[in-house]
Amino acid sequence: MLNVYLSGEIHTDWREQIIEGARGLDITFSAPVTDHAASDDCGVEILGAEPNKYWHDHKGAMVNAIRTRKGISDADVVVVRFGEKYKQWNAAFDAGYAAALGKSLIILQQPDHDHALKEVDAAALAVTRTPGEVVRILRYVLSGAL
């Protein structure tokens, strides 16, 4: 059994592509909350409203960090996706946290991010371009088959 945490960009279906491609493999997947509104507002929904946007966001980040830390801590492999549209500072943080914990780290990014992410990539065991490459690595890790 392999426990894989899927971190990063939430605006495309890359997670679904990996999960579908890995069907039949002995893998359990986990991820952050990918409903953007729920993720942004969880802190104030649970802990009470904040008139200041900074504290609104801060409460959400703290509540989300509980889930993120648990997911990364429990993972054997952490896949971090950097999307094209937004700067995912949270994804970079997750990659650093996973690396600090000694987790096997796979980065999924496009070539135009290579320079900006060179330090993140240096901490990874693999840098991939497509969800299919991630699936092939996971299959190889579990079975040794190409």
Q: What is the CATH number of the domain that holds 7?
A: 3.40.50.450
Q: Is residue 27 part of a domain?
A: yes
Q: Report whether 73 contacts 5 (CB < 8 A).
A: no
Task: Read off the pLDDT of residues 73-111 as tens digits, 9 standing for 90 and up.
Answer: 999 999 999 998 777 889 999 999 999 999 999 999 999
| Inter-helix orientation angle 53-74/36-47, to 10° | 110
Q: How many helices (H) and strands (E) does the chain have?
A: 6, 5
Q: For the chain, what is the mean pLDDT?
A: 96
Q: Is residue 121 part of a domain?
A: yes
Q: Exposed (0-12), middle (13-18) or buried (19+): which is 46, by Cβ within 10 Å? A: exposed
pTM of the predicted protein model: 0.95
Q: Which tokens is 122 given?
A: 């240096």
Q: Is residue 80 part of a domain?
A: yes
Q: Is residue 79 part of a domain?
A: yes
Q: Is residue 92 part of a domain?
A: yes
Q: Is residue 46 part of a domain?
A: no
Q: Is residue 78 part of a domain?
A: yes
Range of the domain at 117: 2-32+72-143
Residue 84: its pLDDT value, please? 84
